[in-house]
Chains A and B, each alone.
Chain A
């Protein structure tokens, strides 16, 4: 057991965040992740970290604030919080996912839940990420509550095995396996870039969606680099190649193919209708309020910021498990996100201020919520400038 958690921590520290000697390492996790946090701390110091700065956020504390706190508390961001986020410039950041009580906030007023975010801190973090100013990574820690949600029983061991497979911990040399995997995704991105697509078209049950791309859109996958040249992999696992769409050019309807865990509630059977780039209609069999709450956070939250392609080779997809966690589920299949663009997918726009970036078609928002739209029944075509359709995915098989 100790071995597994230590190799996992090493993978996150050395391949995910790629902690450099002399760097400060910020670790953000839930109290329930403490075991992994400890292993990460040890691993980071072994990798030469100058200091490991751990902060636990507690959803129960957030719940108490939403339930019993005054109105102003919901959006309050303590000064120290902004200072801590700002300190992650040129530092390494590791965040741990895996809700211990995924439905903890489900019985609360979802418009309050949606508003209860430290917007200023999130904005600062996104700025740093977009400027490639930190080497960061998100990984998950299996726990009982999450296992219960996924399997209907608190089988943490089964969740460990599933996660272990998705992050290639089952390989004899996980670090080498990641290098190989990462270069495959980079090659795929390069092939898509060569096509210079103008749009993507998703077609399937409940889905007929055209997403316009930008001339500046570049495909990304398998990790990236900081401005100082430190290679890192922002998500463990990752199976996607993704790009930034034009926030003004999404038309049609899309039906989500997997449930989505959002702010302590589960969104099921989400259906969005887009016109002129904007989500004009939101339907879901549960959790639609949480989606609307998010879309109301700012003006641009209801417009797309990311489109990502994943094929059936995905290790996440192959587990057959719906993890009810975006980190995994977005790597099981194709997905799109409403809210902010990932700016490094439009490197020419990174230096622009938010208004200028928006004017060029990149989305700037304090929200970024991925939801899954792919699967064997959904086909994806690329559409070139002259209207030629190029099949990209058929029955989950990569066509390029």
Chain B
């Protein structure tokens, strides 16, 4: 056996104990890219050490997907094998998924429309229901690798990427688990204050952006300290720096421009501007990748409506690295972002967001934050309360 990589084992332990917060006797699913095998293996060890009953690792491979899109028949694109549905349906379980694309541009030269269509929607449906029921404790975590490092730094400097990942996930702290508890408490405080203010809408103002989006009166602001329906806490994203809510998907107007590139279905979307009317994205412009976004927005009836608003300020460890990671798990925690598609059921006390909750099967985050972006909360009587200026949090904190 190769020498055990101490950092990797600690990272896996943090993911299992704080991220998914695996329970004694639970079945643990690990859904990993085949290139992330060293992390999947470390996660397996950590999960069994935490008392897992069984660890079920499923590797995926983008080249296999590429071959399907390029050479497979039309029906293959949307086909979902029954066994994958059976696997997805299993409850109770904890799930860990991994990110860190080893070949971020692998699908870039394919027909964007086919790439967008190649989704196992049946699996998304099951996952969405489990999110609504809050039945799974899950977490996403990244695995530094050469291809990803190449994209981020222009050279395959995996060690440098590892350093950044370790900093963002607080692995550099003497006691990462304690550091995470403290960090989540701070984000929770911020979310609670914002919930108490009961804004009717948010207004975004900045370069290429003048956008108003209605809030859902039943929706809380939350940190990514999630609770399963039975109350067990878990942190679905490692790292996380955001507080977020689910807007009223029927109320959004204006234009909003992305501030960072977005990696989507093997392509990179750059400088995207969305035009929004009556809640719906009616136009997509981008320097690159607009086609992939347009394809995705056609996935279902609500794909072109919004599902998440997230606020991140300059204290974010991800933001502080100054690195564009080309990975949503990271970049969405660098700065403020918005998602079109499925809303987040956790923000509703009973998981039911009513009419205004977006029930799409897609969910794509894109970054909008930058120093020039100003965000105000609008009260019912139209008063504007500054929330962010120059990436600095404007509301009082404890």
Chain A residues whose CB sits within 8 angstroms of the CB of B49 once the complex forms: 68
Docked-complex contact A64 and B64, CB < 8 angstroms: no
Docked-complex contact B53 and A73, CB < 8 angstroms: yes
Q: Does B82 contact A (CB under 8 A)?
A: yes
Docked-complex contact B90 and A64, CB < 8 angstroms: no
Smallest beta-carbon distance B382→chain A, Å: 54
Interface size, A (range): 35 or more
- Which of A42, A56, A67 is within 8 Å of B34, CB to CB? A56
Q: Which one, A47-55, A152-160, A364-372, is touching chain B?
A: A47-55
Smallest beta-carbon distance A91→chain B, Å: 11
Smallest beta-carbon distance B82→chain A, Å: 6
Smallest beta-carbon distance B396→chain A, Å: 47
Q: Does B72 contact A (CB under 8 A)?
A: yes
Q: Which one, B54-62, B163-171, B353-361, is touching chain A?
A: B54-62
Docked-complex contact B90 and A79, CB < 8 angstroms: yes
Docked-complex contact B61 and A54, CB < 8 angstroms: yes
Docked-complex contact A60 and B44, CB < 8 angstroms: yes
Q: Does A165 contact B (CB under 8 A)?
A: no
Cα distance A68–B67 in the bound complex, in angstroms: 37
- Which of B41, B64, B86 is within 8 Å of A54, CB to CB? B64
Docked-complex contact A58 and B68, CB < 8 angstroms: no
Docked-complex contact A34 and B61, CB < 8 angstroms: yes
Kindly report which residue of chain A lies nearest to residue B59, judged by CB atoms.
Answer: A56
Docked-complex contact B55 and A61, CB < 8 angstroms: yes
Chain B residues whose CB sits within 8 angstroms of the CB of A76 once the complex forms: 54
- Which of B40, B70, B73, B84 is within 8 Å of A61, CB to CB? B40
- Which of B41, B61, B63, B76 is within 8 Å of A50, CB to CB? B76
Chain B residues whose CB sits within 8 angstroms of the CB of A37 once the complex forms: 61, 64
Q: Does B48 contact A (CB under 8 A)?
A: yes
* B41, B61, B67, B68, most chain A CB atoms within 10 A: B67
Chain B residues whose CB sits within 8 angstroms of the CB of A46 once the complex forms: 71
Given A61-B55, A65-B55, A72-B53 in contact, is the A34-B34 Cβ separation under 8 Å? yes
Chain B residues whose CB sits within 8 angstroms of the CB of A80 once the complex forms: 83-84, 86-87, 90
Cα distance A80–B93 in the bound complex, in angstroms: 14
Docked-complex contact A60 and B76, CB < 8 angstroms: no
Smallest beta-carbon distance A214→chain B, Å: 37
Docked-complex contact B1 and A64, CB < 8 angstroms: no
Docked-complex contact B37 and A65, CB < 8 angstroms: no
Docked-complex contact A64 and B44, CB < 8 angstroms: yes
Kindly report which residue of chain B lies nearest to residue A27, judged by CB atoms.
Answer: B64
Q: Report the interface size for chain B: residues with CB under 8 A from the other chain.
A: 36
Cα distance A371–B40 in the bound complex, in angstroms: 34
Q: A307-319 toward B: CB 8 Å interface, digit per residue (1/0)?
A: 0000000000000
Q: A58-86 toward B: CB 8 Å interface, digit per residue (1/0)?
A: 10110011011110110010111101100
Kindly report which residue of chain A lies nearest to residue B27, judged by CB atoms.
Answer: A78
Q: Does B109 contact A (CB under 8 A)?
A: no
Kindly report which residue of chain B lies nearest to residue A104, judged by CB atoms.
Answer: B1
Chain B residues whose CB sits within 8 angstroms of the CB of A65 once the complex forms: 44, 48, 54-55
Kindly report which residue of chain A lies nearest to residue B87, judged by CB atoms.
Answer: A80
Cα distance A68–B28 in the bound complex, in angstroms: 14
Q: Does A398 contact B (CB under 8 A)?
A: no
Q: Does A4 contact B (CB under 8 A)?
A: no
Docked-complex contact B61 and A51, CB < 8 angstroms: no
What number of residue pairs across chains A and B have CB atoms under 8 A from each other?
Answer: 109
Chain B residues whose CB sits within 8 angstroms of the CB of A56 once the complex forms: 34, 59, 61
Smallest beta-carbon distance B26→chain A, Å: 11
Chain B residues whose CB sits within 8 angstroms of the CB of A238 once the complex forms: none
Docked-complex contact B83 and A84, CB < 8 angstroms: yes
- Which of B41, B58, B61, B84 is within 8 Å of A38, CB to CB? B61
Chain B residues whose CB sits within 8 angstroms of the CB of A34 once the complex forms: 34, 61, 63
Q: Does B92 contact A (CB under 8 A)?
A: no
- Which of A50, A64, A68 is within 8 Å of B73, CB to CB? A50
Docked-complex contact A45 and B71, CB < 8 angstroms: yes
Q: A12-50 toward B: CB 8 Å interface, digit per residue (1/0)?
A: 000000000000000000010010011001100110011
Kindly report which residue of chain A lies nearest to residue B79, judged by CB atoms.
Answer: A51
Docked-complex contact A83 and B61, CB < 8 angstroms: no
Q: Does A351 contact B (CB under 8 A)?
A: no
Cα distance A370–B71 in the bound complex, in angstroms: 38
- Which of A38, A45, A50, A58 is within 8 Å of B57, CB to CB? A58
Given A54-B61, A69-B48, A83-B82 in contact, is the A41-B68 Cβ separation under 8 Å? yes
Docked-complex contact B37 and A52, CB < 8 angstroms: no
Docked-complex contact B83 and A81, CB < 8 angstroms: yes
Cα distance A21–B252 in the bound complex, in angstroms: 49
Chain B residues whose CB sits within 8 angstroms of the CB of A79 once the complex forms: 86, 90
- Which of A51, A69, A101 is within 8 Å of B55, CB to CB? A69
Cα distance A262–B49 in the bound complex, in angstroms: 27
Chain A residues whose CB sits within 8 angstroms of the CB of B71 once the complex forms: 42, 45-46
Q: Does B81 contact A (CB under 8 A)?
A: yes
Chain A residues whose CB sits within 8 angstroms of the CB of B40 once the complex forms: 58, 61
Q: Does A87 contact B (CB under 8 A)?
A: yes
Cα distance A42–B178 in the bound complex, in angstroms: 48
Cα distance A72–B52 in the bound complex, in angstroms: 11
Chain A residues whose CB sits within 8 angstroms of the CB of B48 once the complex forms: 64-65, 67-69, 73
- A interface residues, Cβ below 8 angstroms from B: 31, 34, 37-38, 41-42, 45-46, 49-56, 58, 60-61, 64-65, 67-70, 72-73, 76, 78-81, 83-84, 87, 101, 104
Enumerate 11 A-B pairs (CB-CB under 8 Å) in ascending A order: A31-B37, A34-B63, A45-B71, A45-B72, A50-B73, A54-B64, A58-B57, A60-B44, A64-B55, A68-B45, A78-B90
**Contacts A50-B75, A79-B86, A80-B87 supplied; 20 other A-B pairs, CB < 8 Å:** A37-B64, A42-B67, A42-B71, A51-B75, A51-B76, A54-B61, A55-B58, A55-B59, A56-B61, A58-B40, A60-B41, A64-B41, A69-B54, A73-B53, A73-B55, A76-B54, A78-B90, A79-B90, A80-B86, A104-B1
List the 4 closest A-B pairs by CB distance, nearest first. Answer: A68-B48, A45-B71, A80-B87, A84-B83
